[in-house]
Amino acid sequence: MEKIWLNDYPAGVPAEIDPNRYSSLVDMFEQAVSRYADKPAFINMGQTMTFRELEQQSRNFAAWLQNSLDLKKGDRVALMIPNLLQYPVALFGILRAGMVAVNINPLYTPRELEHQLKDSGALVIIILSNCAHTLEKVIARTALRHVVLTQIGDQLSRIKGAVVNFVVNHVRRLVPAYHLPDAISFCSVLQKGAQLPFIKPDIANDDVAFFQYTGGTTGIAKGAMLTHCNMQANVAQAKAAYAAVLRDGRELVVTALPLYHIFALTVNCLFFLELGGTSLLITNPRDIPAMVKELSHYPFTVISGVNTLYNALLNNKNFIRLDFSALHFCIGGGMPVLKAVADRWEQVTGRHLLEGYGLTECSPLVTANPYNLKHYTGSIGLPVPSTDIRLINELGLDAAVSEKGELWVRGPQVMKGYWQQPEATKEVLRQGWLATGDIATMDDRGFLYLVDRKKDMILVSGFNVYPNEIEEVVAQHAKVLESAAVGVLSGSSGETVKLFVVKKEHSLTKNELLTHCHRYLTGYKVPRIIEFRDELPKSNIGKILRRELRDGPRNDGSRNDGPQTSTHSNAA
């Protein structure tokens, strides 16, 4: 496809980037911490960590991994930590030791955690004590050799940390009982590592840096192998697109999205680290009043978020009273940014949202709206530098302007493949192109618009939910004959899960099903709507027709025609 979008690049945005400007993510990290040594890198719960402190502590963690454990370059180390200062320390320690970081959602159930640990072959896990009871239930069935436990207050000052840990453990009782007798504390690891030598390994750009798990649309979580080149190239692409409006060493970015998610990992953590920015880590963004109170203490200049986060903030009376004079860059992604939310955001803050599109397999950024846009447009923007795209129509040909087609992507940010999944890799990687499964159109200026999903993935608050996974769990209930899960519009989360069920036993109730689902699924995957039916629509070969369930008449006589705005495949 001709790169017609280049004509709409703002001044100073190059057509191509050098994907090998840095020899690895570690090279990028080391140059950044040297360049901005005494500037604040991360802030969390009032505690500031400078780039110099981040370098020292991550070095200690890397030294411990190298010397205290029987590990080698390329071994997988899992991270199950929310947005705390411990996260960047452990993350960059893992990368500096030449190992592969495996990000894990702290909200996972035992079933989900066990799959990811077993599939990745992780030998070490760094985990928040609040989640330790989940690990206890599955650890015997994994390859884990070492467990590093951390508490919420471990990176705060000694007195404040002790108070926070006491309140979390004994007042609010947020740490369920667990038994992991061989675990070692995070603080102890850093102390031991400080006494050990760190030997910088030989790390190449084509070495894998992350196993970032995504289910695609199959329901079976797969580890996208993202290399050092994939990630640092995507940082370079973001910087090329927005360097003109971002100031080295002077930005303060609000990081409410979880760093274990590919969106915040690349944009908030890696991109702003390379830029010398400060990341304000919000540990619990679901507590909107506490988040707003935290924001009131800082002159933040950048914020990234998903539609649900922006909508929640706008519905908080104290948020709309904040001083937004320093704010000049607002990033939307991970799920559709609804026009009503975008318009209200601009009205309240005086700044418009710049929407982009990405997916885990692309590290994640594929397209972004140019910085010189004046208002929200509903477009997911233009392909970022060094990115080729194709739209393939139903005939397998390149789609014409404004014609729908499946979006294919090629560029240095495209993953190496899925870990130990050659068939799944072959299905999406086709002669260097990644077939995204998303349907899009392009206008005559090169702006892209997502119009549909090729398959049935459900997007809840920016997280992929896979119907097969839900249906597999529901099928384990003895009173269920068959089921189908679909996404329906939700004002609070973009989409929510609706479950259609055919009973095997008449006594089955909705509450029984919900209890069952809560036992095996993370909260955002649990169906919010359950409808019992005598039968489900099927094709002539017996396949349940989810689309007919999703788009057909509902009990109230209305129709659910699905999202009318662009949707994002930013997978976690």
Q: How far is CA 145 from CA 134, 137, 139, 182, 297, in A?
A: 16, 15, 9, 9, 42
How sure is the predictor about 130, in pLDDT bands with cuts at 50, 70 and 90? Answer: very high
Query: What is the reported pTM?
Result: 0.86
pLDDT of 562 strictly over 70: no
**More confident position, 348 or 557:** 348
Cβ-proximal residues to 357 (8 Å cutoff; 6+ apart), any chain: 333, 365, 366, 367, 368, 380, 381, 448, 450, 566, 568, 569, 570
pLDDT of residue 554: 39
How sure is the predictor about 542, in pLDDT bands with cuts at 50, 70 and 90? Answer: low
- Amino acid in the structure at residue 1: M
pLDDT of residue 446: 96
How sure is the predictor about 306, in pLDDT bands with cuts at 50, 70 and 90? Answer: confident
Report the DSSP pairing between strands 405-410 and 433-442. Answer: antiparallel
Which structure tokens are listed for 407?
């979006």
Are the beta carbons of 382 and 82 closer than 8 angstroms?
no
Owner of token pair 């318009």: 343
Mean pLDDT of 463-478: 86
How sure is the predictor about 219, in pLDDT bands with cuts at 50, 70 and 90? Answer: low
| Closest C-alpha among 211, 106, 199, 99 to residue 149 | 106
pLDDT of residue 326: 98
| Averaged pLDDT of the chain | 91
- Minimum mean pLDDT among 51-60, 143-152, 162-171, 328-337: which range? 328-337
In the chain, where the domains are located: 4-8+19-383, 388-453, 458-551
Mean pLDDT of 267-279: 98
Owner of token pair 């802030």: 43
Neighbours of 521 (CB within 10 A): 21
pLDDT of residue 452: 66
* CATH no. for 458-551: 3.30.300.30
Q: Where are the alpha helices (DSSP H) in 194-299?
A: 228-242, 262-264, 272-274, 288-295
CATH fold for the domain made of 4-8+19-383: Rossmann fold (3.40.50)
pLDDT of residue 543: 67
% pLDDT > 70, the chain: 94
pLDDT of 569 strictly over 70: no
Q: How far is CA 76 from CA 41, 131, 135, 405, in A?
A: 26, 20, 17, 37
User: What is the per-residue pLDDT across 90-109, written as a single tens digit (0 to 9) for each?
Assistant: 999 999 999 999 999 999 99
Owner of token pair 């030998």: 123
pLDDT of 561 strictly over 50: no
- The CA radius of gyration of the chain, in Å to the nearest whole number, is 23
pLDDT of 571 strictly over 70: no
Question: Strand ranges (DSSP E) for 104-189?
Answer: 124-128, 146-150, 184-185
How far apart, in whole angstroms, are the C-alpha atoms of residue 429 and residue 432?
6
pLDDT of residue 304: 96
pLDDT of 386 strictly over 60: yes
Give domain 388-453's CATH architecture.
Roll (2.30)
